[in-house]
Chains A and B, each alone.
Chain A
């Protein structure tokens, strides 16, 4: 198709009334820029935009030094040119009559000042040359060094992240070996689901296999989940549940105020750093409607067999959170009241049979401290 034909059709379109209607909208600059770049690329490939044209586009401005603002102009080169340039001063005057006298006076003045200025100029020259040399050395050696150091730091940071999160470990295998049984997970979800009765939009942070979402669906509660594990999200979606592969914080930030009427996050808080948790809680508070619940469940480190042992099984756990600490986090994020509910008692216990008095009290205390409830939840309500 010839260019003129193409143009003709476009003209027809614009005559057909497109022009004035289109004027109502702005121009999509991104799309246009992409098109323009594509045109340039095509012309380059076709050889129309050949080396001569490229040379013309870069042609230096004749008749003197390049403009200081020229694209790609190297400031060091410009500085070198300035340092090396001669100062030309012509003392001759061309004024009629008084010209020769002026010339004489200027020459005399230069002659007298020369002895004084010579030293200053000489010293300034030395400074300029030293400064230029110093800049050259700095720009070459130091910058190369800095780049190397930054790269080393980045590499160290990357390795640290890998090691901290045990990225090489097969997490699915881990979950199979140490993760809770589906029945336990379901029991846990059942414990809290009643708080969301009648809700239309509950967010499950770290929705995993979708146990809580299934339960909600069964009870007619509108709920959806976000999780970073793609396989789990796919599994939940395949099961007809609403789940997305999204970062919880980013997702919360994208929601308007009061968009949710419940937030449920099981075994999530121990995976994020405390400062990050604050930010997430602040977003939780903002996105919940008034009267809605935010429930966060996490391993209970007050039970020492959890705090000293099972909590650390998972290498992606960051910090154990004692119940009172998490309650405090919710309170300062603006939730009131905040209840604590512990559950999932230890199977092992010291026997209290046949004990009485001080012995019974001591064993009870030991049982509570060593073999207490293994999980707890904080239940905060947005006022």
Chain B
């Protein structure tokens, strides 16, 4: 936005330490906003701050990153289920006050439409690609590089991401394809301790204790290393508002097998093996074929790299300009 000659600032309630110096506290908005300003509100969980922001005198748009359906948390994490329900109710309330809803995917745009937004558009997430230009962490590389198959999934440990299904898939993979295969689950498990504990128990019960590796939240260089050592990226997630890790996998030249859910197919854009199968064995065999067949692997990597062009700064910026009419 600054490059188009607009004065533009980012505001947040809370910011990660790495970006804290580029972000202003949201309270300042209440003093400084004028009716000519565009206010883009990024919405991914319920928070009463949005009600107050929606009352500000400015041109407004809500950028929707999706909220996981509460049913995924029922019986596992009542706190998360409660917040998801609250967030969805708030989205419906905001629909009557904010004139434009922007989905980061067509899947999200439809959700906005269903919530009651009068005007909607799709603008993909603006990815900071420079963030991925880091050298892979040598320690992680040294630990996992080897002849065995490394199946990788990146994403918070959460019931909607179905890491439990990945553990079951690994059981098949080791029995029927490669007995040395491993599964790396990169992603924070802080928010879902109960699900995390039960995943551990499942892996133990299936005799996969050492083969499933919970990496937790990792640094950018460690992430690069996990992708560098990955044979295939496998996602069995049942709810994705955008599926950013698919693009990361394309960026790091890792072929992708994924279940068709939420925005997965549209983000993959034909550059991944996206399946709608009931039998986990089919997903495992898909990963197996990619490992075995270099031509398929190369083709998927080539398609992935080309797919990234749709998420370049220029492409996303053009989409945003047309959505905002500026």
- Which residues on the A side are within 8 Å of B280 (C-beta)? 57
B53 near A: Cβ within 8 Å? Answer: no
Q: Shortest Cβ distance from A10 into chain B, in angstroms? A: 6
Q: Is the CB of B74 within 8 A of A32?
A: no
Bound CA span A13–B255, Å: 19
In angstroms, Cα B285 to Cα A243, docked, is 46
The verdict on B277 contacting chain A, using a C-beta distance below 8 Å, is yes
With A39-B285, A40-B281 already in contact, the answer to whether A68 and B71 are too (CB < 8 A) is: yes
Flag if A62 contacts B198 (CB, 8 Å).
yes
A9 to chain B, nearest CB (A): 11
Q: Judging by beta carbons under 8 Å apart, are B301 and A23 in contact?
A: yes
* Residue A350 at the chain B interface, CB threshold 8 Å: no
Any chain B CB within 8 A of the CB of A141?
Answer: no
Once the chains bind, are A63 and B175 in contact (CB under 8 Å)? no
Size of chain B's interface in residues, with CB distance under 8 A? 50
A36 with B303: CB separation less than 8 A: no
Q: Which residues of B contact A53 (CB under 8 A)?
A: 171-172, 175-176, 281
Q: Of B172, B273, B281, B285, which contacts A29 at CB under 8 A?
A: B273
| CB 8 Å contact bits of B117-161 with A (1 = contact, 0 = none) | 000000000000000000000000000000000000000000110
B93: CB under 8 A from chain A? Answer: no
Closest to A49 in B: B176
Stretch binding the partner chain, chosen from A14-22, A121-129, A216-224, A331-339: A14-22
Among B72, B172, B201, B288, the residue within 8 A (CB) of A62 is B201
List, in ascending order, chain B residues with CB within 8 A of A65's CB. Answer: 75
The answer to whether B171 and A56 touch across the interface, beta carbons within 8 angstroms, is yes
Instruction: Write the nearest CB–CB distance from A61 to chain B, whole angstroms.
Output: 5
Contact of B270 among A19, A22, A26 (CB under 8 A): A26
Q: Which residues A56-82 have CB closer than 8 A to chain B? A: 56-59, 61-65, 67-69, 71, 82
- A35, CB-defined interface residue at 8 Å: yes
Minimum CB–CB distance for B241 against chain A, Å: 16
* Chain B residues within an 8 Å CB radius of A68: 71-72, 74-75
Tell me if B198 and A64 are in contact (CB < 8 A): yes
Which of A24, A36, A59 has most chain B Cβ within 10 Å?
A36
Query: Are A29 and B274 interface neighbours, CB within 8 A?
Result: yes
For A32, the chain B residues whose CB sits under 8 A away are: 273, 286, 289
Known: A10-B295, A22-B299. A69 touches B175 (CB 8 A): no
Tell me, yes or no, whether B10 is within 8 Å of chain A by CB. Answer: no
Apart from A57-B169, A67-B164, list 6 A-B contacts with CB within 8 A.
Answer: A7-B294, A27-B300, A39-B288, A49-B172, A57-B171, A64-B76
Residues of B within 8 A of A (CB): 71-72, 74-76, 159-160, 162, 164, 168-169, 171-172, 175-176, 194, 197-199, 201-202, 205-206, 238, 270, 273-275, 277-282, 285-286, 288-289, 292-296, 298-303, 306
Q: Which 4 pairs from chain A and chain B are nearest by CB? A: A23-B302, A19-B298, A56-B171, A14-B295
A residues engaging B (CB < 8 A)? Answer: 3, 7, 10-11, 13-14, 18-20, 22-27, 29, 32-33, 35-37, 39-40, 43, 48-49, 52-53, 56-59, 61-65, 67-69, 71, 82
Q: List 26 A-B contacts (CB under 8 A).
A: A10-B294, A14-B298, A19-B302, A22-B298, A22-B299, A26-B270, A27-B273, A27-B299, A27-B300, A29-B273, A33-B275, A36-B289, A40-B285, A43-B281, A49-B175, A49-B176, A52-B175, A56-B175, A56-B206, A57-B168, A57-B171, A64-B198, A67-B159, A67-B164, A68-B74, A68-B75
